[in-house]
Amino acid sequence: MSGLRRRLPQPSELLPLMKFSAPGLGRRAHRLRGAADVADLRSIARRRTPRPAFDYVDGAAGNELTARRTREAFESTELLPRILHGTAEADLSTTIAGGPSALPFGIAPTGFTRFMHAEGEDAGAAAAARAGIPFTLSTMGTRSVEQVAQAAPGGRRWFQLYLWRDREKSRGLLDRAWANGYDTLLVTVDTPVAGQRLRDVRNGMTIPPRLSARTVLDASYRPEWWFNFLSTDPLTFASLSGTTHDLPTLINSMFDPTLSVADLEWVRANWPGRLVVKGVLTAQDTRLALDAGADGLVVSNHGGRQLDRAPVSLKALGEVRAEAGTGVEIILDSGILSGADIISALALGADFTLIGRAYLYGLMAGGREGVTRAIELLTAEVRTAMQLMGCATIADVKASGQVRAPWL
């Protein structure tokens, strides 16, 4: 080091090192730009969202074993790179449920969404439309089928149905969804009753939230969330007018715990579009759904939010695919937080994926801009993985066999 010659830098050498934020960059945009992955969005969301809302998204049923095991399954997979087989460009587009998607993932149905952020489903639908991917509106949505259609008139829209005890109400929802351009119906079959989500119980979660000493204290730390909540339309379930209950009571009073194959056949007879059954994890249930008229399936454990110790979706995928065959489209959700997770699901047999928590972390972190950022991050990760694996198209990923999983 004693022989090291030193000199003063020239101004021309310093200028390229001086990087400043673009003029006029807002605080939200600056905050989101600093997020390098979905985990960063989750951290931002946790700081900016009241605990009951954040825990509703972040939590799961029981001791959250299924949720943890779902993540462990994704993290245990290995994606095999392909050397001397470079791919300069990767085409991330695909088709699903009879229509196009610019990316191999769409937005999953989520309930109580304006509780997470005042922009709610409108933000998700608009961001999805901009990205060219499907957006799924939940029966438990806080915006109506008409409002979401207006928020993203050029987007592709799916609707998720929980069958009500009152079948005429269900029929009315189906008619409204079809009339407003929702081309695919996801019927959720894994929620005859509400799962025991202990974080929600401990937080005393209700819709709308009740004011208490705890919530007032929480407001002092998160004034923007509370200002948005108090200065926008009252928080209600757009399809369930006049309901104010704790969550298990609401679900158990409205939804039908006696759901059967005959009910699925009733839906098939009353829905003219594509019918996808969501919540399938076994070969036996795969056959039941297909025999009842399903066009496709969602392999899902509801993000670990229903039956704790339920099978891991990624591990169940092979069994479902073997029973369904290659001619049935299979979508996978639950636990997807990265582009590598999406690629793993596709390489193991899925045709498409849905993101739930990843979308909501983005929403809580920054509304529509946050959802857009989540989509951007996942897109970049998918593209990088495909290029490193030498896969030019989504079809290449599905046919590559370039994945290892310890349960196979």
The confidence score (pLDDT) of residue 24 equals: 52
Peptide bond into 208 cis (omega under 30): yes
Judge whether 57 lies within some domain: no
The confidence score (pLDDT) of residue 21 equals: 54
Judge whether 232 lies within some domain: yes
The rounded percent of the chain whose pLDDT value lies above 70 is: 91
* In the predicted structure, residue 82 carries a pLDDT above the cut 60: yes
The confidence score (pLDDT) of residue 192 equals: 83
Pick from 34-43, 98-107, 174-183, 188-197: least confident: 188-197
Judge whether 131 lies within some domain: yes
Q: Which residue has the higher pLDDT, 346 or 229?
A: 346
The confidence score (pLDDT) of residue 259 equals: 86
The confidence score (pLDDT) of residue 22 equals: 54
The confidence score (pLDDT) of residue 14 equals: 74
Q: Which domain holds residue 200?
A: 81-403
Burial code (b: 16+ CB inside 10 Å, e: under 16) for 164-198 equals: beeeeebeebbebbbebebbbbbbbbbbeebbebb
Pick from 22-26, 220-224, 313-317: least confident: 22-26
Judge whether 1 lies within some domain: no
Q: Which residue has the higher pLDDT, 5 or 372?
A: 372
Non-local CB neighbours of 335 within 8 Å, separated by 6+ positions: 67, 70, 71, 73, 74, 303, 304, 312, 313, 314, 341
Judge whether 20 lies within some domain: no
Number of domains in the chain: 1
- State the average pLDDT over residues 62-70: 97
Residues forming the active site: 302
Please state, in angstroms and rounded to a whole number, the distance separating the CA atoms of residues 175 and 38.
36
Judge whether 179 lies within some domain: yes
Confidence band, pLDDT 50/70/90 cuts, at residue 83? confident
The model's pTM is 0.92
Q: Which residue has the higher pLDDT, 92 or 191?
A: 92
Judge whether 137 lies within some domain: yes
The residues with which 187 forms a beta bridge, in sequence order, are 161, 277
- State the average pLDDT over residues 276-305: 98
Q: What is the mean pLDDT of the chain?
A: 91
User: pLDDT tens-digit profile of 117-138?
Assistant: 999 999 999 999 999 999 999 9
The residues with which 296 forms a beta bridge, in sequence order, are 276, 329
Q: State the CATH number of the domain containing residue 149.
A: 3.20.20.70
Judge whether 159 lies within some domain: yes
The confidence score (pLDDT) of residue 155 equals: 96
The rounded percent of the chain whose pLDDT value lies above 90 is: 73
* In the predicted structure, residue 214 carries a pLDDT above the cut 80: no
* In the predicted structure, residue 231 carries a pLDDT above the cut 60: yes
The confidence score (pLDDT) of residue 245 equals: 54
Q: Where are the beta strands (DSSP E) in 281-378?
A: 296-299, 329-332, 352-355
